Amino acid sequence: MKLLKSAIVTAGVLLLSGCADITKDKETVFVEELLKRMTLEEKIGQMNQVNWNGNYSHVKKGMVGSVLNVTNINELIEMQRCAVEESRLGIPVLISRDVIHGYRTMFPIPLGQAATFNPELVEKGARVAAIEASSDGIRWTFAPMVDISRDARWGRIAESCGEDQYLTSVMGDAMVKGFQGDDLSSPTSIAACVKHFVGYGAAEGGRDYNSTGLTENVLRNVYLKPFESACSAGAATYMTSFNDNDGIPASANEFILRSVLRNEWGFDGVVVSDWGSIAEMVPHGFAENRKSAAMKSVNAGVDMEMESRSYIENIAELVNEKKVSERDIDNSVRNILRLKYRLGLFENPYVDPNSNVVYAPDHLQAAKQAATQATILLKNNNRTLPLNEGRIKSVTITGPMAHAKHDQMGTWSFDGEKEKTVTPLEAIGDMLGDKIKIIYEPGLAYSRDNDKTGINKAVKAAQQTDATIVFVGEEAILSGEAHSLSNLDFVGAQSELISALTATGKPVVMVVMAGRPLTIGNEIDKCDAVLYSFHPGTMGGPALADLIFGKAVPSGKTPVTFPKTVGQIPVYYNHNMTGRPANRNETLMCDIPVEAGQTSLGCTSFYLDSGFDPLYPFGYGLSYTTFEYEGVKLNSVNFGKNDIITAVCTIKNTGDYEADEVVQLYTRDLVGSINRPVRELKGFKRVSLKPGESKEVTFELPVSELAFWNRNMQYAVEEGEFHLWISPNSKSGQPVSFRVD
């Protein structure tokens, strides 16, 4: 076996090297020895990632470093055998796949997982995904996506952790740890790939693949934050984004790839392009042809090209022409070989075809727990929820998402199996089918359905029962990559269905399953209670059934601001303060006198038609109980830059249900060398309280975490006055003041 030969050679090098190499570790010696033996063509082969098409000959020639989307386990094993036993150097192939929010057992989409505000649970979800995917030979996933996402029109907001850099950092770190485990070389670990580097979430107009114009200040203070955090968490790989920023496509941006990622952060892993993004610099107008695109990407520091073949076709010629340095090629290959070594592929390249770990009971339980904690209670008039089986004897279940096995899984569910999805209709039937009367009338066949003939049947059913639960939202295909929208209202005839149901006078509970925040204020106003569940995955049905009927209590919080209308976008809580902030005494459109004077309305920053606030702020979510926050106490009002701020607040459950509350810590730097956000999330804790119980919640915030990149591009804490809140969301609470000197 070639692999054994390579190991023997490496062992010999270790024995002969003596004191001269005593400071080199085994990994370095192994990689350097292998690199010395490689031809230029074999090096270029390692930089080539291809979508699997059954071509074993390229693998045997050592012309493939990584393969995407091998879905047949026997083909995967044969391909790896060709690489290890028939290629000249026996270098194993790295098998990759988009395992975004689950492999077989689908967890809520990442936006939903962020709504849990529970990094331990998010880490568990990534661990489950890694265990299941690695059992099929997959050792590299293209997640987490840590793009800051402030535009709900962008389809990929579904794949994000929302609008806040702190929450995204915490959740992204949790996913990295879950995917990679305690030891990257473990057969159950898969390499995480932090994407998209960088700024992709700010695409103009929310149109996928579009341009961004972020300044270095905004990049460093907002968009780079979660990427840097993931690097500290040990992320093995990064992926460049499709967008150009300030005219430079990410796959050729030396500043972010070399200056920031490599030099500032010390990253020594692999940088891979997104699918075809290198060749796409030609239509960008940044490269004359694919050869030029390959040159610019290699020189910028992209180690591996995903799929478009401009590397494999052009690098050798570029080296011969001295337009690309073989030293840079060596550095890229060194990174790739190092990753394979760390994954243990040289020692254990094969996978057991008989392993069967998918849908394990603890995996399904974790998925249900995630879906439960991810669900947000937006409205609950007159304690409509939970529906008490002792109070109601019959219920109507309706809506296109009530039994949508495929769509409930959400975007990026390549390997999820709809046959394993448990829908709300099934879960409620299993829970209560022998206790109450259940009538199911879908009303609409799917979310975009405009055929209204089924609405009358749903209304007749609602008239016969004590309450109605209508499951609405959007199909999985309407969110995710390349699925941007300019209108965020309900699609199809869903609004008509809701209006007809609420006209019956019976209590209506609306449950929304979607991949993004929707502009559904009118529909929310009509309903008695509203639960929002970003596509909840395999076990979404049992989770929602438990919440609706009181076996669980909602605790999810909005990870993004919900706009009232598309016209409010971009809308996010941690914006800068304008010189003319809105005065809530200003006149809104409906109250403007006829022929009012031009300046009679005041001149502050708000919309005449949609007013001052979004539909729901960041961090918002109700419960079946109520919580009371006492005043915040600090350990001092004056701090030095090396001190730790201790903030304490007592939280009391003043209602009737045992429940979790997500307690949030925010600060504001009142005056800075650049404008600072009106609030910034600095911490959160999930607290469980029984009825009548109080707990003292303590946050310890190092003053160093108040640092930001200032006008001189220095990362520092500035002296001055600050505000601090401990509150249930980003809009509530009273601040306390302190000073940093």
Active site residues: 274
For 307, phi and psi rounded to 5 degrees? 80, -35
Alpha-carbon distances of 647 from 81, 632, 643, rounded to whole Å: 58, 7, 13
Extended beta strands in 442-555, E state: 467-473, 508-514, 529-534
Whether the CB-CB separation of 311 and 44 falls below 8 Å is answered with: yes
CA-wise closest residue to 122 among 705, 686, 688, 698: 686
Beta bridge partners of 694: 652
Q: Which of 662, 646, 670 is nearest to 730 (CA)?
A: 662
| DSSP string of 351-414, one letter each residue | --TT---TT-HHHHHHHHHHHHHH-EEEEEGGG-PSPPTTT-SEEEEESTTTT-HHHHT-SS-T
- Cα 150 to Cα 202: distance, rounded to the nearest angstrom: 7
Give the tokens for residue 40. Answer: 């230029």
Q: Measuring CA to CA, which residue among 618, 616, 580, 617 is closest to residue 601?
A: 580
Extract the tokens encoding 734. 């009273």
Alpha-carbon distance of 345 to 728, in angstroms, equals 47
CA distance 173 to 225: 11
Cα–Cα distance measured from residue 313 to residue 330, given in angstroms and rounded to the nearest whole number: 17
- Taking CA 447 as the corner, what is the angle to CA 441 and CA 449, rounded to the nearest 5 degrees? 80
Question: Are residues 131 and 180 in contact, defined by beta-carbon separation less than 8 angstroms?
Answer: no
In terms of Cβ atoms closer than 10 Å to its own Cβ (0-12, 13-18, 19+), residue 352 is: exposed
Give the relative orientation of helices 2-17 and 26-36 as an angle to the nearest 10 degrees. Answer: 120
